[in-house]
């Protein structure tokens, strides 16, 4: 099921219980792209126009499972696991640079490897928005539509303060304790990020198990640390560049589905998107949280299908 993995690069072996939920909840054939000896896992389901789905932190392509199932009958759906996440290899700092720039280069390599059509749709959640929109900034001619789910591609809005939970994880010695040593970060996200119901034990295990070992949680910590809050941060200039060029997508068909109960990507982020992309189609879900696809899978699938049909790709 999985390729042979290099113990020199891996900090943890593939999850032992993936098989327990894979067939029922994740019924896909996984593929792997070699990135300098590091295996990057991705889904490639269906045929037709391409839709690329990018997850954020601390999730993986499992987050998109219901959207993949719902669209693969009419689209070619691509959903990678960022390196260090999900079923991708989990290298240490000596073998991988956990930065926005490297994430974008990984995405560029995957899209080139797959020989996707000239234009495709991006579906973005959480930090996947920053990765995806950086790609879009560099290759605007390739983006046919945007679907935004509780995400950002700009600096923290001036009206928004960094949530205390993220500040503690990012700026204090507790970061290693909360994220790497105890795994509390992903546990809280899977509890607090879904507001309309509780995830089933199998679903929650699917989020937790790929990062069950302390060593496998490095990417979660590095994602949080890669949020640029000052001009001297390594990713600050790149985020500033992306933010300054988002206006070029003003007329790109855009669907925004937003969970209002998100304590991080809240109304301030949504307002910024609406300012930048005033023609976007916006649907707010007052009772949904950060993991809006877990709260509203059927509603969002229906909206996405209608949106794709409303804005067909020319040619």
* DSSP state for residue 39 in the 8-state scheme: E
* DSSP state for residue 307 in the 8-state scheme: H
Rounded-to-integer distance, Cα 115 and Cα 135, Å = 16
Residue 159 has a pLDDT of 86
Domain 18-309 CATH class label: alpha beta
Q: Across-strand partners of 38?
A: 35
The contacts found for 155-164 with CB under 8 angstroms, 24 or more apart, are 155/228, 155/239, 155/240, 155/243, 156/227, 156/229, 157/268, 157/269, 157/271, 157/272, 159/268, 159/271, 160/266, 160/268, 160/269, 162/227, 162/229, 163/263, 163/264
Structure tokens at 77: 């759906």
What are the residue boundaries of the structural domains of the chain, listed by start? Answer: 18-309
Rounded-to-integer distance, Cα 84 and Cα 210, Å = 10
Residue 287 has a pLDDT of 99
- CA 51-306-296 angle, to 5 degrees, is 80
Please state, in angstroms and as integers, the Cα–Cα distance from residue 34 to each residue in 41, 66, 210, following that order: 9, 27, 19
Q: Return all residues near 264 (Cβ < 8 A) that are at least 6 apart.
A: 163, 166, 290
Contact 5, 14 (CB under 8 A): yes
Residue 84 in 3-state DSSP? coil
The DSSP H or E segment spanning 266 is none
Asked whether the bond before 58 is cis by omega within 30 degrees of 0, the reply is: yes
State pTM to two decimals.
0.93
Q: Is the dihedral angle over the CA atoms 158, 163, 169, 173 positive or is it negative?
A: positive
Residue 11 has a pLDDT of 44
**DSSP letter string, 204-224:** HHHHHGGG-SGGGGHHHHHHH
Please state, in angstroms and as integers, the Cα–Cα distance from residue 8 to each residue in 92, 105, 202, 272, following that order: 9, 22, 31, 43
Residue 2 has a pLDDT of 38
Residue 4 has a pLDDT of 40
Count CA atoms closer than 13 A to 96's CA, side-chain side. Answer: 31
Residue 172 has a pLDDT of 63
Residue by residue, pLDDT tens for the chain (315 residues) are 334 444 334 444 344 345 455 667 899 999 999 999 999 999 999 999 999 999 999 999 999 999 999 999 999 999 999 999 999 999 999 999 999 999 999 999 999 999 999 999 999 999 999 999 999 999 999 999 999 999 999 999 988 877 776 666 666 666 666 677 778 888 989 999 999 999 999 999 999 999 888 888 999 989 988 989 889 999 999 999 999 999 999 999 999 999 999 999 999 999 999 999 999 999 999 999 999 999 999 999 999 999 999 999 976
Q: To which residue do tokens 């707010």 refer?
A: 284
Please state at what angle helix 184-192 crosses helix 201-208, rounded to 10 degrees: 140
Residue 8 has a pLDDT of 32
Please state, in angstroms and as integers, the Cα–Cα distance from residue 54 to each residue in 60, 82, 123, 150, 230, following that order: 8, 8, 6, 12, 26
Contact 156, 271 (CB under 8 A): no
Residue 21 has a pLDDT of 57
Residues in the chain: 315
């Amino acid at each position: 099921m999985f390729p042979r993995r290099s113990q020199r690069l891996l900090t943890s072996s593939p999850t032992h219980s993936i098989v327990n939920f894979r067939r029922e909840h994740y019924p896909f054939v996984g593929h792997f792209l070699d990135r300098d000896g590091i295996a990057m896992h991705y889904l490639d389901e269906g045929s037709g126009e391409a839709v690329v789905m990018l997850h954020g932190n601390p999730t993986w392509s499992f987050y998109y499972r219901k959207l993949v199932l719902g669209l693969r009958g009419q689209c070619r759906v691509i959903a990678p696991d960022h390196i260090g996440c999900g079923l991708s290899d989990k290298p240490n700092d000596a073998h991988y640079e956990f930065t926005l720039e490297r994430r974008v280069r990984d995405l560029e390599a995957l899209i080139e490897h797959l020989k996707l059509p000239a234009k495709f749709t991006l579906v973005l959640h959480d930090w996947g928005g920053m990765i995806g929109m950086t790609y879009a900034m560099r290759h605007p001619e390739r983006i046919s539509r945007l679907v935004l789910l509780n995400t950002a591609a700009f600096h923290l809005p001036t009206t928004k303060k960094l949530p205390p939970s993220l500040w503690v994880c990012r700026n204090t010695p507790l970061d290693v304790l909360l994220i790497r040593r105890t795994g509390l970060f992903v546990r809280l996200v899977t509890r607090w990020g879904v507001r309309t119901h509780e995830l089933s034990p199998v679903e929650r295990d699917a989020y937790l198990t790929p990062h069950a070992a302390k060593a496998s949680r490095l990417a979660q910590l590095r994602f949080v640390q890669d949020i640029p809050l000052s001009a001297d941060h390594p990713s600050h200039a790149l985020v500033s560049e992306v933010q300054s060029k988002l206006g070029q997508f003003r007329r790109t068909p855009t669907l925004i589905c937003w969970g209002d109960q998100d304590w991080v990507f809240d109304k301030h982020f949504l307002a910024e998107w609406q300012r930048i992309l005033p023609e976007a189609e916006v649907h707010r879900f007052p009772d949904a949280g950060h993991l809006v696809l877990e709260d509203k899978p059927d509603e969002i699938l229906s909206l996405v299908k209608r949106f794709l049909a409303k804005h067909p790709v020319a040619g």
